[in-house]
Amino acid sequence: MKKVILATLISSMAMNVQAQNISADHQEARSIVKEFGGQLVPALKGAMKSGGPVAAIDVCNTKAPAIAQDLSATHAPWQVNRVSLKPRGASATPDAWETATLKWFDEQLASGADPKKLEKFEIVKTGNQAVTRYMKAVPTAGLCLTCHGSEQKIPQGVKAKLAELYPKDKATGYQEGQIRGAFSFQKPAN
């Protein structure tokens, strides 16, 4: 019994140490991810249910960028965005750091990591400028395949609407469990 209590104590101490090791910026970035997902996912699911996938494209097309803008305003100076190695949205093309991080996420996934837990927090220095950067992987769920899956999974109407809105769309051909992209946030570090 004593041993159990001691083990519990030690493990809860270890957890506290871990929480303390994460900087305030890192914690804030994690909470912005929660807010982003907490607003977007229910809106997407609701629109899919009530209007079907073609109508739901509008949520992703207008609401996702609007949420990113709102969060950038409320959490300034953080700049909030989403990126992908196969981008669809106008602002989704990754820069060099984001590309490297997305590739690292894919490598981690291939070596067995849980895609839901993949994140990267780093202070990136270029010359005498430092930028605090954070990325969190976005895994592909079953629900996503209607608009991001293989040719056969995407209904004809969705294909037509996507082609109209995103003539350069690269964001299809995904399978469940793959990494669709990532949340990507940055702000000046000094």
Q: Which residues bind ligand HEC (CB under 6 A)?
A: 44, 53, 56-57, 60-61, 64-65, 82, 84, 87-89, 92, 138, 140-141, 143-144, 146-148, 171, 180-181
Which strands make up the sheet holding 79-83, listed edge to edge?
Answer: 79-83, 179-188, 129-139, 119-126
For ligand HEC, which is the closer residue by CB, 27 or 69? 69
Rounded (5°) CA angle 43-46-50: 140
CB of 85 to ligand HEC, least distance (A): 9
CB nearer to ligand HEC: pick between 56 and 132: 56
Choice between 84 and 186, CB closer to ligand HEC: 84
Nearer to ligand HEC, 43 or 189 (CB): 43
Instruction: Find out whether 68 and 78 touch, Cβ atoms under 8 Å.
Output: no
Beta carbon of residue 47, minimum distance to ligand HEC (angstroms, whole number): 7
Cβ-closest residue to ligand HEC? 89
Nearer to ligand HEC, 177 or 188 (CB): 177
Pick from 137, 190, 179, 186: which is nearest to 26 by CA?
186
Q: Distance between CA 146 and CA 85 in Å, rounded?
A: 19
CB of 150 to ligand HEC, least distance (A): 14
Q: Spell out the residues 6+ positions from residue 156 whose beta carbon is closer than 8 angstroms to its own.
A: none
Minimum distance from CB of 125 to ligand HEC (Å)? 27
Output the CA–CA distances (angstroms, integers) from residue 114 to 19, 34, 102, 106, in the order listed.
20, 18, 14, 11
Q: Rounded CA gap, 150 and 178, in Å? A: 12
Taking the least distance from each CB to ligand HEC, the nearer of 129 and 150 is: 150
Helices (H), 59-141: 64-74, 96-110
Residue 68 Cβ vs ligand HEC, minimum distance, rounded to whole Å: 8
> Least separation, in Å, of the C-beta of 94 and ligand HEC?
9
